[in-house]
Structure 1
């Protein structure tokens, strides 16, 4: 989703216009199955500059995947290539390590690099290195999505725990969304999917909980008005059956949606990490 193939560099490239800090940019690329892109050769640098120009970012700067991760001033790409091995030129008066706090590298539309504070926010590129990506039945190159004939949707179970908002972002990065239960049959589908990952195989604090796509949209009012991420009430979406004694808003902090292993609904603390399920309709792009 959103990637363009650059044959000269044999790489897939995507420009994210919405700025992020360096760590968030790196995480977003990772969630997409790629890496934060670096101008590591002339073909890739040219492709990045051309995309920046097409999006009217030529006068701005973007984060690269180059950071001083080992020691101050020793810059290298995420995949371990030292800056000294790259044919890049510094912008005027760079590097300057302002306030002794510039450990990330940016690039402007003139292919000049500068050191920058990693907490700054900039647009960025993600890159995927394989030119042989094939689209599966789910309309994605991610083979962890599997088509479920009973619902017509594809699902992926994420074993790496995240908070609810991080999970929602991870699904979105994959061209999907946190799963929404639209019928008792879909509840059964998710129950069966969850059962494939027994509690003793999950390295999480709450192995009986998997987050899905609904929440108390007005959590600050604490009014228990549960909606899907698409703004429907649970009843309108087609399934509103809670697990026993739920929702209970334990400790007054459970405002995000999940299921437990019976496939029924459960409220859960938004900032506590848990496994989660993404859903991708086959027509979703």
Structure 2
């Protein structure tokens, strides 16, 4: 269920408001969700829950869902080494999410569809990385596919020595390495990949547009998070089911440690059956409602 809040707030103020009164700022999984919104709005724009927090990708490599990660692992936060050029990464024009090594050995973010030479790598039996420079120009995704077919993956660089070694292979040519990120994350931690951008958005105008609004036609575009706008919250309805159980055991089922172990066993079995996104709670009936056998 979605709720329009006609109060002007910054994106982060709106996030706090939604978390206090509902579930969070609005998340959308499909056009079916969009169709649940009012056909037209009484105002031009309203915050939704999509944002691209620079703390997770600009100030450090980070470990959030929109942070930088290496192609071979696909996981953020596994390394702390970085060699960004001054002013990088910039996410210029809202379209740079793959990483190049510049002719001076520093890094910069670039449009993934651009064509550059690239560096692949393999690992020896002694767990040392061996880098392979490929002079053929390809997009980042095509370079990744090539490296995975012929080597291990696009170059992974975890320290200054490895960075210098890759640089020595490139011959001062701008080249792809294996660092990339998937911009934008939902405030509630949802993994929805659905997007409904307006044409030519996002554009990260002035380099400071990291939060998303929807317009009157429900298309999205990025804005400065400090701007004041109305916003949309959503409320997730939680289904609560109570199951009565009669347990024949010598264990003390009033002992919190015993209950915790029991719940862990049930959780594991339900997970193996394919259950997801659920929580378990234990409640003992009052003594006058139990029967002794």
Q: TM-score, normalised by structure 2?
A: 0.23
User: Considering only CA atoms, is the larger Rg found in Structure 1 or Structure 2?
Assistant: 2
Structure with more contact order per residue of length (Cα contacts < 8 Å, sep ≥ 6): 2
Q: Which one has a larger percent strand, Structure 1 or Structure 2?
A: 1
What is the TM-score normalised by the length of structure 1?
A: 0.24
